[in-house]
C-alpha cells in the first residue's frame, strides 16, 4: 500500500470540502497545517535566511521534499520559493483535477511559522501557489513582514521575480 498516496487522498478530500465551505477564504484558515513537524525540529537561526535554510534542510532531510530554492526580494517582503519533489504534490494534483486551485502548502506554512516563532515576525501571507505537476515543482510567493511598518511597502513582484530568475539569486538547499 502506498501510504503517501493514501494520506494525500485524505488531505485532498478534506481540502476540497473545506474549499466548498469557505471558497478562497479557506486558504486563510490553513496556516497551521504542517507546523507540528517543524516546531519539533528545533530550527535555529538569527536571520530570515538562516531560519529558512534550516527549515528547508530539515524538511528535505525528513524526505518531505527533494529540494527547495528561495530568494528574498521586493523590499525584503517577498519570499519567493520553489519546491521540488514535494511529498504532497499528488494532493495538489487531485485538487486541480476537481477544479480547485491549490491553496494549502504545508511546506511554506512551516517556513512562515518559524519566521514568526523564531524571529518574531509580525505577520505573513501566502499570496500565490502555483503547482506544475508535470515538472513536480511548486512555486510560492509569500509576503513576510518583520514589523508592522513593513506593511504597505509595495513594488511589482513580477519584476522582482523576473530579476531573481535572470540574476539567478536563488539559494538551493537539498538533503
The residues binding other proteins (CB under 8 A) are 25, 28-32, 74, 77-78, 116, 122-125, 127-128, 141-143, 145, 148, 151-158, 160
Minimum CB distance to other proteins, residue 125 (Å): 5
- List residues bridging with 129 in a β-sheet: 140
Min dist. Cβ of residue 2 to other proteins (A): 31
Of the pair 70, 157, the CB lying nearest other proteins is at 157
Rounded least distance, CB 70 to other proteins, Å = 17
Contact assessment for residue 87 and residue 65, using Cβ atoms and an 8 Å cutoff: yes
DSSP assignment of 4-72 equals HHHHHHHHHHHHHHHHHHHGGGHHHH-TTTTHHHHHTS----SSHHHHHHHHHHHHHHTTS-SEEEEEE
**Quick one: 13 or 150, whose CB is closer to other proteins?**
150
Amino acid at each position: 500500500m502506498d501510504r503517501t498516496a493514501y494520506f494525500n487522498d485524505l488531505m485532498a478530500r478534506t481540502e476540497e470540502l473545506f474549499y466548498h465551505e469557505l471558497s478562497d477564504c479557506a486558504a486563510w484558515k490553513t496556516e497551521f497545517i504542517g507546523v507540528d513537524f517543524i516546531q519539533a525540529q528545533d530550527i535555529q537561526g538569527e536571520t530570515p535566511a538562516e531560519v529558512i535554510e534550516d527549515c528547508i534542510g530539515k524538511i528535505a532531510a525528513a524526505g518531505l521534499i527533494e529540494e527547495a530554492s528561495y530568494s528574498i526580494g521586493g523590499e525584503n517582503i517577498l519570499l519567493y520559493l520553489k519546491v521540488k519533489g514535494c511529498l504532497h504534490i499528488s494532493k495538489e494534483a487531485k485538487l486541480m483535477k476537481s477544479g480547485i486551485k491549490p491553496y494549502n502548502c504545508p511546506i511554506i506554512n512551516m517556513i512562515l511559522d518559524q519566521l514568526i516563532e523564531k524571529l518574531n515576525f509580525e505577520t505573513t501571507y501566502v499570496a500565490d501557489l502555483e503547482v506544475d505537476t508535470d515538472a513536480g515543482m511548486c512555486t510560492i510567493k509569500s509576503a513576510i513582514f518583520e514589523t508592522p511598518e513593513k506593511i504597505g511597502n509595495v513594488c511589482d513582484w513580477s519584476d522582482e521575480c523576473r530579476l531573481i530568475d535572470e540574476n539567478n539569486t536563488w539559494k538551493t538547499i537539498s538533503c
